[in-house]
Each structure stands twice: as structure tokens, then as C-alpha cells.
Amino acid sequence: MSKESYFESSILVLQEKTDLALQGIPEIAWDGFLLNPRRLRGSDFLMRWSQGVWSERRLTSALNNTGNFYAIPYGPSGTAPSGDVRAYELYFERLEAAGLDDMKRPDLLVFRIGDKQFVDDFVESVGGYEELQFIGEDTLQPLVSKAIIAIECENSLWVAEKMPDYGKEMRKQKRLHGQLGFAKNAVLPTIIIKEEDRIPLAKWQQTNGIPIHVWHSFYDRAFGLAFDDAEHLIAEGLTSPTEQVFQAPGGAITKKAIYKHYYHYAYPLAISISPPELVAAHIEDKNGHILPYVRFEGGMMEICNEASDVLDSLGGVR
């Protein structure tokens, strides 16, 4: 089996998300749409890509607005080009050519506000945020060592408060050997971690001595969970793996295990204080074919006190 490209793995779409988005709509024949060598087959991929970038930037802005902390993009989702899928793909091809595509970096680094000038000067000295991915970890140690926390970002297009099982209490579950939880088909906010990311994230955390937290953003709320706490939930059998089907831009179907940690185990991270706008967008190929999609713009979130307390405990200063 050939290795899945870094580009394709970066914008895999959960098949269940595609089904939800297109329920009741006839299949759209995008097979003839030539956007790049991997032939994006539909707007789902563009929406997923832009959704992730928007969500990450919304959390970064919320954190920076506290006046106490300063977050910067560190992983490829925040530093890759936006607005041009071909440029996005070339970015990942450059990572592969540099031999850095196997390296897993958290999406964000968070610093004390007092270190902002140092961070800005350092990033500028290495060529800007866009160049961070092409520089080895050893060279970036002066920057990384200043961080109080690293963030792995996930997002879901759900209004958390309207999910059917939101606000309900956990009950003893037979499948969890009497431990508290929900039925398999429960619909509620969860913090997702991919099985394939567990070892790379653990390695990065141990090597750099910086704690990793997973921040999962929904339309109206966001939740945070320490990576170590997530590993404990797995070890104790409180969270079991779920097999999910993903689809790559080229159409290939891949089954991967993920862990859905109930939001009950997480801390409130942020809440929406103004909604985003849904903006119509499109990409036109060289032959004049149009691929329409919808992207999110704007909208503001506010960091919750519980999240500020977590950051304070890790070395931040209010």
C-alpha cells in the first residue's frame, strides 16, 4: 500500500460528516473536475479545510484578546497558504521534499503575554510563520521552550447546546463494565483524538517538556482536555476507540480509529459571543469549471474562566 500523502491526510473528510451535509441531496458528479493532481471531488473537502483554519484562528483570537496570553500557529493547518488549494498542496509537497512530513507538531503554541516581543522577533528572524514548518525542532527550541502549553485543535460543525444528549448526566453502561458513560449512539459534544496522533503527540510532549492540550471547537462552544488526561481515560477504559471511515480528495476510503472523549471530562474553553458569517466562495479551474463551497468568516469567542485558570496553573500570569 502506498503511503498516504501529507496533503491528503490533512484534509480527510469523515464520511459521516459528508453524509450529514448532503443528506437528501443527489450525488454531485465532481469526477470530471480537475483542480489539482489529486482531483478534489466535491466542496466537502474545501469546506472542511476552510472550516479548520477558521476555527483555529477564532480560538487564537479569543486567547490573544485576554491580554494575558499569546498564541501563534505552529502546525501546518495554521501556517499553510489559504485561499488557494494548489498553493496549499504545494506547501505539503515541500514538507515531504524536506523530509518533515512525518513530524507531528501541535497546531498552536501559547505563551505568556510578557514573551510576545521575544516570540515575534524570533519568528521574524526565521522568515515568518510560513517558514516554521520547514525548520527543524532543534533550531526552534528557543521558541518552543518559552511556551507554557501546546494545543492540538479539532472542530465540529455542530451547535453543542442543541445536540440531543447535551446537558444529560452519564449513567452506568454495561459495555463499559459498569462505569459511567453514554450509549454508543448518543449525540453530544466530544473531544476527538485520532489513534494515529497519540504516539507522535506523546513523543513531542516528552521531547519538549511542554504539556499538550486538545481544544475542540463547536459552533457555539469549545472544550479543552489535557492530552495526559485523555490517555488516562483510554487506559481506564472510560473511552473506547471508534472506527470511522474517512475519504481522501482522490476518493480513497480509509478506516481509522478515533477516541471521542465526553465533554464531561473536559474544561469549558470558550463560548461564542458573536456568530460568524457564512460566505459563498468558489474555485475556478483552468478550464473554467466552477466548484462552489461555503466558508465561515468572523465571529468571536470568549475564553472561559476555567480555561484561564488552567493556563494560569501552567505558568501564565493574569
Ranges 11-25, 216-230, 272-286: which has the least confidence: 11-25
- For 134-152, how does the pLDDT look when each residue is reduced to its tens digit (9 = 90+)? 888 888 999 999 999 999 9
pLDDT bracket for residue 251 (50, 70, 90):
low
Best-predicted range by mean pLDDT (42-51, 100-109, 223-232): 223-232
- For 264-317, how does the pLDDT look when each residue is reduced to its tens digit (9 = 90+)? 999 999 999 998 888 888 776 666 777 787 888 888 999 999 999 999 998 755
How confident is the prediction for the chain on average, in pLDDT?
81
pLDDT of residue 281: 81
Q: Is residue 260 scored above 90 in pLDDT?
A: yes
Mean pLDDT, to the nearest integer, of 39-59?
72
- For 179-201, how does the pLDDT look when each residue is reduced to its tens digit (9 = 90+)? 889 988 899 999 999 999 999 99
Residues 6+ positions from 70 with CB-CB distance below 8 Å: 63, 64, 110, 111, 112, 113, 115, 116, 119
- For 92-108, how does the pLDDT look when each residue is reduced to its tens digit (9 = 90+)? 777 777 665 566 889 99
b/e sequence 278-292, b meaning 16+ C-beta within 10 Å: eeebebeeeeeeebe
pLDDT of residue 98: 62
Mean pLDDT, to the nearest integer, of 151-177?
92
- One-character DSSP codes across the chain: -PPPPHHHHHT-EEHHHHHHHTTTSPPP--TT--SSTT---SHHHHHHHHHHHHHHHHHHHHHHTTSSEEEEE-SHHHHS--S-HHHHHHHHHHHHHTT-TT----SEEEEEGGGHHHHHHHHHHTT-GGGGGGS-HHHHHHHHTT-SEEEEEEE-SS-GGGSTTTTPPPEE-GGGTT-EE--TT----EEEEEHHHHHHHHHHHHHHT--EEEEEE-SSEEEEEEHHHHHHHHHTTSS-EEEEEEE-TTS-EEEEEEEEEEGGGSEEEEEEEEPPEEEEEEEE-TT--EEEEEEEE--EEEE-HHHHHHHHHTT---
The pTM (predicted TM-score) of the whole model is 0.82
Identify the residue with better confidence: 303 or 42.
303
* All domains in the chain, ordered by first residue: 6-157+195-228+266-313 (3.40.1350.10)
Mean pLDDT, to the nearest integer, of 51-72?
91
Q: What are the backbone dihedrals phi and psi of residue 109, each rounded to the nearest 5 degrees, phi first?
A: -115, 140
